[in-house]
Amino acid sequence: MKKYLIIILATMLFLAGCGTTTGPSSSDDQASGAQDDGSVPDAIEGLTQNQYDGLEISVNVLERKAILPGTAFQATVVIENKGELAISYVQGSGSYTTPDAVFLYSSTLQTVIPQDRLGIATMDFVTQELKPGESLLFKIDVLAIEPNPDFDQFTHELYMDEHIYIADLEFSDLQDRIPSLVAVAPGSYLLKAYFLYTVPEEGGGEFDFLGGATGYAVAETVINVT
């Protein structure tokens, strides 16, 4: 009996390290003990959280392997329109797969620019609609290293100069190229996913595409680095 209990507990601990899906608002129990300084991204300033109550967002880490200090992992973001209105969001360049409106944020982990947004992009400006019953899914890379103010510049330069995606490198190779990068210590870290959107004006049924987003949804998960 004791042997079975040990196996069950080990399995539970392993799955906890792979992340947990949440809804639009965070869970105090889930975030308890996770490292986070409480900061928020500048992109949501002036926007209304959960302006459209028919939208659901989740973020989860589906990898079934341990996340070690310095390693890369992918977070899966799912956005579902379960309401009765179509909403609009900014895609950005038509060559993007991951839209401007979707991004990860963490004050303690290093998020990575999606590979489809590196290199030469088309100059068009594209907006998309998410209609009732439709959903979106994106996989975005994260590194278990401390946030670095020059990381995005490194990412662009590495891809342009050598056509190497920074999340594909081993941490030892990354440190050889960028000695200032520091792996996080083992522990629990908070990761958030944001989706910025616009809802139709009341009674108008049309979008102000040039006015920018009016609302946002956010979900969070705890990343356990071992």
Contact between 209 and 113 (Cβ < 8 Å): no
Q: How would residue 26 be classed by pLDDT, with cut points 50, 70 and 90?
A: very low
Q: What is the pTM of this model?
A: 0.84
Counting residues of the chain whose pLDDT is more than 90, the rounded percentage is 73
CB burial class (10 A; 0-12, 13-18, 19+) of residue 27? middle
Question: Which residue from 139, 149, 64, 79 is spatially nearest to 110, judged by alpha carbons?
Answer: 149
Tokens standing for residue 115: 């590979």
pLDDT tens digits, one per residue of 53-90: 999 999 999 877 899 999 999 999 999 999 999 999 99
Helix H or strand E segment including 162: helix 151-162
Q: What is the pLDDT of residue 211?
A: 54
CATH of the domain at 130: 2.60.40.10
**120 or 157: which leads in pLDDT:** 157
Give the chain's domain count. Answer: 1
Q: In which element (H, E) is residue 75 found?
A: strand 72-81
Helix (H, G, I), strand (E, B) or coil at 62: coil
Pair of tokens at residue 101 = 């409106």
pLDDT tens across 128-149, in order? Answer: 999 999 999 999 999 999 999 9
| 190-210: pLDDT as tens digits | 999 999 999 987 544 455 555
Neighbours of 217 (CB within 10 A): 23
DSSP secondary structure, 79-119, as one string: EEE-SSS-EEEEEESTT-SS-TTEEEE-SSSEE---GGGSS
- Cβ-based burial of 119 (10 A; exposed 0-12, middle 13-18, buried ≥19): exposed
Q: Mention every residue, 6+ apart, whose C-beta is less than 8 A from residue 10.
A: none
- Domain containing 64: what range? 2-225
Q: What is the mean pLDDT of the chain?
A: 85
Q: Percent of the chain scored above 70 by pLDDT? A: 81
- Residue 204 pLDDT: 45
